[in-house]
Amino acid sequence: MAGSAECRWAVHPDMAEQTKQKAKRVGIDKFASSEVIDKLHKLPAEDFGVGLFSQVKEEHLDMETGPCLDGDFFPEPLDALRKKATPKPFLIGVTQEERLFAMAGRTSSATGLADTLKEVTADCTNKEAMKASLRSHSIGYASPTNPSCIRAQAGMMSDALFVAGIAEHCRKTVEIQNEPVYLYVFEHFNPAIMGYLRDVMPFHSKFSLCSSFYLFKKGLLADPPLTETERRVTQTFTTACTNFAKYGDLNGAEAAFSDLPVPWTPITEQNPYLNYVITSEEPTMSDELFEVR
């Protein structure tokens, strides 16, 4: 529900240097291990606070702070550690416009499109070629002011920052273990879940902060009324997650019978993007992840 280590914002090779710059901003200029820990203990917690829209970072990074892959806390590359880890059932999912919340205030305009293309190609070697490819594939001949353009931008943002990493994590995981890997797409959407963001979004659609309500009956932004539809979606989602926690199988304890309206099939090496689509009606299994956009 919150991405994966394969997502570009989660782990970045330049984070060690970025972290040193943050340390200097809070008054730490020597990096011997014992001295750093002692000084960190004396700092108030608010000195570590980071605002999503007020980060101090290099332009090509998505986060001000994050894990450092320097051979210390993680002694080996993540792929090597995964191969050594005990295989376990795995559950991961996305919403259709996972990164939409980060586009608050963005307009369907030439400037908005330029900003989006700059963000989604931040980690690309050949940025201009990738921008041209994205424009051709996702925008086509549509004007930047066309409403379809802002939706295409939301898709680009979601793919670059969440979907691509999650898809890659699924592919890698199913290659190294026999334990089931389950992928879902949360497609159900109730505009009431958007709360105060409803008035600043370029359009209304499901995004990363929406699905938690249907698991905890508590939204991060708002709590919509429990209509028949909301109850049905909640029942499906909580049943699946409860079964996963208890049995490692989203369908339940019995292999021949599913507690869900539609049985949930784990991904395979042949199709690592097989996903369970949680809709406003009956859930469905899909062979494609966002039409392989």
**What is the pTM assigned to this prediction?**
0.86
pLDDT band at residue 148 under the 50/70/90 scheme: confident
pLDDT band at residue 206 under the 50/70/90 scheme: confident
Mean pLDDT of 151-178: 92
**Rounded CA gap, 132 and 253, in Å?**
50
**Rounded CA gap, 15 and 32, in Å?**
18
**Rounded CA gap, 240 and 222, in Å?**
23
| Percent of the chain scoring above 70 in pLDDT | 97
Residue 125 has phi, psi (to 5 degrees) of -70, -50
HSE-up of residue 27 (Cα within 13 Å, Cβ side)? 10
Q: With a cut of 80, say whether residue 177 has pLDDT above it.
A: yes
Give me the long-range contacts of 25-28 (CB less than 8 A, separation at least 24): 25/56
pLDDT of residue 284: 96
Q: With a cut of 60, say whether residue 292 has pLDDT above it.
A: no
Mean pLDDT of 100-119: 85
pLDDT of residue 41: 86
| Structural domains present in the chain | 1-76 (no CATH), 86-292 (3.40.50.1820)
pLDDT band at residue 293 under the 50/70/90 scheme: low
Q: With a cut of 90, say whether residue 84 has pLDDT above it.
A: yes
**Rounded CA gap, 175 and 261, in Å?**
29
The pLDDT tens digits of the residues spanning 3-58 come to 888 988 888 888 888 888 888 888 888 777 777 888 888 888 888 778 767 888 88
